[in-house]
Structure 1
Amino acid sequence: MRLLATIAVGIGLLGVVPAPPASALAAPAPSSPPATQRTSPSPAPSPAAATWGVAPSTARGPNGRTAFGYKLDPGATLTDYVGVTNHSSRPLTLDLYASDAVTTTRGGFDLLAAGQKPTDVGSWVRLPRRTVTIPSASRLDVPFTLTVPRNATPGDHAGGIVASLTDVGSDARGNRVAVDHRVGARIYLRVTGELQPTLTIQDLRVRHTGSVDPLTGGTVTATFTVRNTGNVRLAGQPVLGVAGPFGLARRSVTGTALPEILPGGELATTVRMSGVPPLFRLTADATVTPVAVGDQVLDPPPRASTAQAAVWAVPWPQLALLALLALAGWALIATRRRRAAQHARAVAAAREEGRAEAGRAPDADRSGPGHDNRQPAIDRTGKDDT
């Protein structure tokens, strides 16, 4: 449940549908068994005690269709039936109307809020009355007409026919709130003409998160919006590629497949890649390949859309490790040089000491006992005094 101006919705259900708080418009398989809800009698019906379903039908009852699917030319008109089944033990009066479909931010199928006026296929549907009263445990097959305008654009148009019940209650603070419980069936209409299946990537944002472990790479996270800029409802397959300078160490990873995106709709998605080496400057390219929905055949296959962005990936842990290794190497070299210098000084001192001792030894021998240091007198005439 949500507050005023919001709704709780369940669309495309074939069987019993208790008033749901879900916001997605889900369409289960035809074989899905109806969900039942037992309630005790009370003076007035309430959404909590009411259970109803909406499904494609015929004048004679449902025919197994899970959704209204048509392919019409501009200006064409058709008549069909919607079956509204009351599975409650009391009569129900429901609002019955058609509206346009939208793609939610999470990729779900939803309809415009009750207060919003449809401008597309929801406005092309005409129902005989706005409200219907259905007896307990009964079904009402309501006819409607769908008229395609002559100027309708080719391609897919999506909407739904809704049976709703509004409940007024209180929130946790005691404020009165109105909650619109909606159940319905989807409408998929393809208007003939040229098809343009195109998905476009917008607002690509990339960031790199490093790892404290210098021996492992970081994580690259790419967030972007995929918008259906064509006229065909499409799913998509995103792929993220990351490379360093000059394409070094390029890798790619496939993201989670995208659900159906209606024409004009958009969906935000995120793709992550781990173990990316921090090569200072990384280039990331996001690619999304359009994928046909259901039994559609797209011929020729639509082109993929690509967007590119760059991100810095400075290897701080690796640089710190290199700095530590460089410091250790410098310390080792400095220690070896210091030891070599000390050894050289010791050798030089030893040599100097050896030379000094060698120089002192002859003098000591000549000045020792029994050695006459006097020189004989020589006559300048060349004759001895003797």
Structure 2
Amino acid sequence: MRLLAAIATGLALLGAVPVPTAKAPEPSASTSPAPSAPSAVTWGVAPSSATEPNGRAAFGYKLDPGATLTDHVAVTNHSTRPLTLNLYASDAFTTAQGGFDLLAGGRQPTDVGAWVRLTRSALTIPSTSRLVVPFTLTVPTNATPGDHAGGIVASLAATAADAQGNQVAVDHRVGARIYLRVTGELQPALVVEELRVRHTGSRNPVVGGTLTATFTVRNTGNVRLTGRPTLGVAGPFGLGRRTVDTPALPEILPGGELTTTVRMTGVPPLVRLSASAAVTPDAVGDQVLDPPPAVDTAQVAVWAVPWPQLALLTLVALVGWALVAARRRRARQTARALAAAREEGRTQASQEAGRTSDGQDATVPATTGVDPRVGSGGQATPDLPTPDATA
């Protein structure tokens, strides 16, 4: 079964840059990548005078509400065969990645794309030839002040097979940008929304982790702007405060938004971090913003538990406890050994004293049979006369 679908490819809207023959145009944000354009087919769209392209990178105007002007667009066929192209104007928008794109071919414009009237909507251009088409741009009397962006597109309809083998209609587009500023009060402003931050610890406990912040920058004013994002982080009581600047954002159209991601490395895990994302609005091109727009900031708190550091401290504590326990165990073993040695020494001393006492008793000479008359000096005591019992 043939599946008919209109797939709008991306636009070469950096001026009048033709799509290279060997490459498929960049897909728009809302569609899948389209098959390549037919081989050997290349064309370009550029601002022009009444006769030929005049070197302008885009259609740029500054008009009052209700004003009308006439200009020209040149469509060039660089191919070696004729081309039949559709020519129309549409509104621009900022993609989520910060690209400049136009509404799909089937969507009706409501802004500057609706204010453009082309004298021709279909072109058949001979090989290696150019057609210059006039158009008028009429600003409504109730147009809002500020910047309005769109483009003029030359598209080639073709069919191709998708990944499932279905036949799809493919719209290859090349265009030139339109930048219109309607006079009136300008209100440039960028805001930071949907800030999401996470901290990823490092396996190396000595170094810090990575702080990743993703946030949306929305243009809430009426002037197309770029901006310079800044990511800041600090721990409790302002410890470890750091900031990092990033390259400027792409152009953001009024009402548009884009999502950006900023990373900061070497962030210490101080348990509870305060992260802030700020964006400083800047003018696009040679615009002058006077006074400068305010800087918008969003702030969130994020947990940064130092798991590697805690693991290291736990390991150090366990090693210290093991060393202290081993020292105490050795001390107890030494004390027990000393006590046992003392006890053994006392036991041996007691046994030795007992053996010594038993030997002295065995060698003392006997004293029986000694003449009692012999004194201690070895002399005999003289016999004393026996008293007379009758005296």
TM over 0.5: yes
- Residue identity in the other structure for 2:6: A
Tell me the equivalent position of 2:376: none
Q: Deviation digits for residues 206-243 of structure 1, max 9, x if unmatched?
A: 11111222222211111111111111111111121122
Q: Is the 8 A contact 1:198 1:290 kept in 2?
A: yes
Q: 1:362 Cα deviation (Å)?
A: 6.9
Please report how far the alpha carbon of residue 332 of structure 1 lies from its aligned counterpart in structure 2 after TM superposition.
Answer: 1.2
1-side partners of 2:110 and 2:153: how far apart? 16
8 Å Cα contact 1:158/1:262 also seen in 2: yes
Q: Which amino acid aligns with 2:200?
A: T
Distance, in Å, in 1 between the alignment partners of 2:132 and 2:178 is 17
Number of equivalences: 352
Alpha-carbon RMSD:
2.5
Q: Which residue matches 1:185?
A: 176
Counterpart for residue 238 of structure 2: 247
Matched, 1:23 2:42: no
2-structure distance, mates of 1:337, 1:355: 27
| Distance change >3 Å, CA 266–CA 362, structure 1 → 2 | same
In the alignment, the residues of structure 2 paired with residue 306 and residue 232 of structure 1 have an alpha-carbon distance, to the nearest angstrom, of: 19
> Structure 1 pair 304/90, CA: closer, same or farther in 2 (3 Å)?
same
- The answer (yes or no) to whether the contact 2:279–2:297 under 8 Å persists in 1 is yes
1:347–1:83 Cα change, 3 Å: same
1:302 corresponds to 2:305: no
1:83 and 2:83 aligned: no
Q: Which residue of 2 aligns with 1:384?
A: none
Of 26, 41, 47, 1:50 maps to: 41
Give the Cα separation in 1 of the matches to 2:17 and 2:317: 73
Q: Tell me how far apart the structure 2 counterparts of residues 220 and 329 of structure 1 sit (CA, whole Å).
A: 33
Corresponding residue to 2:13 among 11, 15, 26? 11
- Residue type of the alignment partner of 2:7: T
Separation (CA, whole Å) in 1 of partners of 2:131 and 2:76: 6
Query: Which one of 227, 232, 237 corresponds to residue 236 of structure 1?
Result: 227
TM-score, scaled to structure 1: 0.84
Cross-structure match for 2:56: 65
Whichever residue aligns with residue 21 of structure 1, its letter is A
317-326 or 354-363, larger mean C-alpha shift: 354-363
Contact 1:13 1:53 in 2 (8 A): no
User: Do 1:12 and 1:54's aligned partners in 2 also have CA atoms closer than 8 Å?
Assistant: no
User: Is residue 272 of structure 1 aligned with residue 271 of structure 2?
Assistant: no
Closer/same/farther in 2, CA of residues 22 and 87 from structure 1, 3 Å limit = closer
Question: For 1:1-386, what aligned pairs fall within 5 Å after superposition?
Answer: 4-8=5-9, 9-14=11-16, 16-18=18-20, 21-23=24-26, 47-353=38-344, 368-369=360-361
Amino acid of the structure 1 residue aligned with 2:177: R
SS at match of 2:250: strand
- Report if aligned partners of 1:52, 1:85 keep a CA contact under 8 Å in 2: yes
| 125-134 or 94-103, larger mean C-alpha shift | 125-134
- By how many angstroms is 1:49 displaced? 3.5
* SS of equivalent residue, structure 1 residue 223: strand
Cα distance 1:345–1:6, how it changes in 2: closer, same or farther (>3 A)?
Answer: same
Q: CA shift at 1:371, angstroms?
A: 6.4
CA deviation vs aligned residue, 1:27-59 (integer Å, no higher than 9, x gap): xxxxxxxxxxxxxxxxxxx84343222111122
Q: Distance in 2 between matches of 1:107 and 1:273?
A: 22
Q: Write the distance in 2 (CA, Å) between the matches of 1:186 and 1:167.
A: 24
SS at match of 1:11: coil
- Kindly state the Cα deviation for residue 148 of structure 1 after the two structures are TM-superposed: 0.9
CA contact (8 A) 1:10 1:24 kept: no
Q: Which runs of 5+ in 1 are unaligned?
A: 26-45, 373-386
Deviation at 1:366, TM superposition (A): 6.3
Shift of 1:268: 1.0
TM-score normalized by the length of structure 2: 0.83
CA distance, structure 2, for counterparts of residue 47 and residue 150 of structure 1? 43
